[in-house]
Amino acid sequence: MKIEEQPRMHLLPVQNSQFEGCVEVGGLLLCKIPEELMTQRREYFSGKNRSQMESVDNNFMRENDQRMPLINEKRTTVSFGKGK
């Protein structure tokens, strides 16, 4: 992506870059991608993540024994430290 296309980006040009005039930070280039492609990509990786979590859960619960049942609890909490 060209620097002119992002007026809010205030970057100095990278010296001896093969991508002159582009937004580059630490060797990484800022690129454009169509929104439809991003939506498809997000859905694909969400599905992959969901199937991996189901696989892990199934593998974990397969080890379950009635004498000592496993607890499959999926809860997260967020706590904040006390400020001074």
Has residue 24 been placed in a domain? yes
28 beta partners: 25
Has residue 68 been placed in a domain? no
Has residue 72 been placed in a domain? no
Q: Which amino acid is at 78?
A: V
Has residue 63 been placed in a domain? no
Has residue 66 been placed in a domain? no
Has residue 64 been placed in a domain? no
Has residue 84 been placed in a domain? no
Range of the domain at 47: 3-53
pLDDT in tens, the chain (84 residues): 777 777 777 766 677 777 777 888 777 888 889 999 999 999 999 999 999 988 887 777 677 666 666 666 666 677 777 765
Q: How many helices (H) and strands (E) does the chain have?
A: 1, 2
Q: Would the pTM count as exceeding 0.75?
A: no
Q: Do residues 55 and 49 make contact, with C-beta atoms less than 8 angstroms apart?
A: no
pLDDT for position 72:
62
> What's the structural domain count of the chain?
1
Has residue 31 been placed in a domain? yes
